[in-house]
Amino acid sequence: MDKLRRILRSTGFVNASSSVLAILVGLVFGFVIMLISNPAQAIQGFGIILKGGFSGGARGIGQTLYYAIPIIMTGLSVGFAFKTGLFNIGASGQFTVGAFTAIFIGIKLNSLPAPLHWIIALLGAMLAGGLWALIPGLFKAYLNVNEVISSIMMNYIGLFAVNYAIKHPALKTAPTIFDTTMNLTSNTAPTSILPKSFLSYLFPGSTVNIGIIIAILIAVFMYFVLNKTTFGYELKACGYNKHASQYAGISEKRSIVLSMVIAGALSGLGGGLVYLSGPNGRRYKVLDLLLADGFAGIPVALLGLNNPLGIIFAGIFIAFITIGGEYLQSLDFVVEIIDIITAAIIFFSAFALVFRGFIQKMLKAEELAVSLDDNHSSLRRQNSGKETGGEK
């Protein structure tokens, strides 16, 4: 009993259960929207969403993991910045420049041998994302410009700069980057495509490749950096209390710049991982629209409570729901409604923090009741043995 109570009260359990509770509320809300929009097929549709990535069998699970790669990376990016006291809303721009750099290297440097080619492409993507975040980082550290504003601006600069570069005449020479007829980027060289390794046996027919393994390893690495290194200790200290960090002799400016660069590199790597997945993977579409992957990172980070390990699960869950939404098209649901439903579920999932406070409060109340029970007998004993004081 005591052991159970201790487990129930451990922070890990409280965190996990609050995320689960947030998801449940989100699902109920999504179901309500389905009931309103299409009452006849609501229950059937809800079943499809719940089955999510599972309805496609092994291939479906593989697709879920593939969808999870970019949002795990942007989730890590946002979550890492949060932990260090920064709000990186520029994940979309960093993701975009990372994607472009990977595609550029993947197409243009086609003389490189296989593993080297995609490794260099990924490193390029990280570097580009990091540089893109360096600018708001420097502005924040040295000129006290709010990183939210500057990184939103960097999102647009990134998007339009990439679109401009892709169509630029200088890049028209073979091998071309832009596939004019499809309005997409061309396929990258076979040497630049991430290997599927054993995943092709596990999830036959799906697009998933070792990108998911890389994403998970990076998440574990980030967890390690944040919790076990002096570097992570310094960064978190600045995030929690910059005055006390300054007092302790930690350079706040250095911490801000470094955490922005790392956050940017994570987003940039996400862009690289997604766009180096071969002909069945995603290709970059030239649109005047910010990529949603960057913004999806925010609910992923919130649902994972900014914990890198939590973010792995949060990313996979949100990919799972998104795929479930796509299967919903087999029923009579309008595409827009499907987007609203998945968005509602994700929206509520981001409330994990609120639910954590709620669960902690409930546990406290229960603890109080228990301790009152324990104390009750002793209270009575003390009271009966004593006269009221002060009545002199």
Partner 1 sequence: MDYVIEMLGITKSFPGILANDNITLQLKKGEIHALLGENGAGKSTLMSVLFGLYKPELGIIKKSGVEVIIKNPNDANELGIGMVHQHFKLVHNFTVLQNIILGVETTVRGFLEMEAARKKVIALSEQYGLKVDPDALVENITVGMQQRVEILKMLYRDNEILIFDEPTAVLTPQEIEDLMAIMRDLTKEGKSILFITHKLNEIKAVADRCTVLRKGKCIGTINVQDTTKEEMSEMMVGRRIDLTLDKGEANAGEPVLEVRNLVTASREHGRKPLKDISFTVRRGEIVCIAGIDGNGQSELAYAVTGLMQIDGGQVLINGQDVSKKSIRARNLSGLAHIPEDRHKHGLILDYTLEDNLILKQYFNPEYQKHGLRLLPKIHSYAEGLIERFDIRSGQGAITLTRSMSGGNQQKAIVAREIDYNPDILIAVQPTRGLDVGAIEYIHKQLIAQRNSGKAILLISLELDEVMNISDRILVIYEGSIVGEFNPKDITVQELGLYMAGSKAREVNHG
CA dihedral 147, 73, 356, 232 (to 10 degrees): -70
43 vs 244 by CB, closer to partner 1: 244
| Least distance from partner 1 to the Cβ atom of residue 224, Å | 9
**Euclidean distance between CA atoms 262 and 270, whole angstroms:** 12
Q: In 3D, which of 312, 288, 303 has the Cα closest to residue 352?
A: 303
- Distance of closest approach, residue 323 Cβ to partner 1, in angstroms: 37
Mention every residue, 6+ apart, whose C-beta is less than 8 A from residue 263. 77, 78, 80, 81, 86, 88, 91, 94, 133
Task: Give min distance, CB of 382 to partner 1, in A.
Answer: 7
Q: By C-beta, is 220 or 368 nearer to partner 1?
A: 368
| The pair of three-digit structure tokens given for residue 388, joined into one six-digit string | 């009221």
* Nearer CB in complex with partner 1: 111/144: 144
Closer to partner 1 by Cβ: residue 173 or 383: 383
Considering the complex, state which of residue 241 and residue 329 has its C-beta at the smaller distance from partner 1: 241
Taking the complex as a whole, the smallest distance from the CB of residue 353 to partner 1 amounts, in Å, to 14
Beta bridge partners of 179: 184
DSSP 281: S
CB of 129 to partner 1, least distance (A): 23
d(CA 204, CA 340): 31
Cross-strand partners of 154: none
Nearer of residues 3 and 174 to partner 1, judged by Cβ: 3
Residue with tokens 């960090």: 245
Q: What does the binding site for partner 1 look like in residue numbers (CB under 8 A)? A: 228-231, 233, 236-237, 240-241, 243-251, 364, 367-368, 371-372, 375, 379, 382-383, 386, 388-392
Least distance from partner 1 to the Cβ atom of residue 234, Å = 8
Residues 6 or more apart in contact with residue 180 via CB below 8 angstroms: none
| CA pair distance 200, 70, nearest whole angstrom | 19
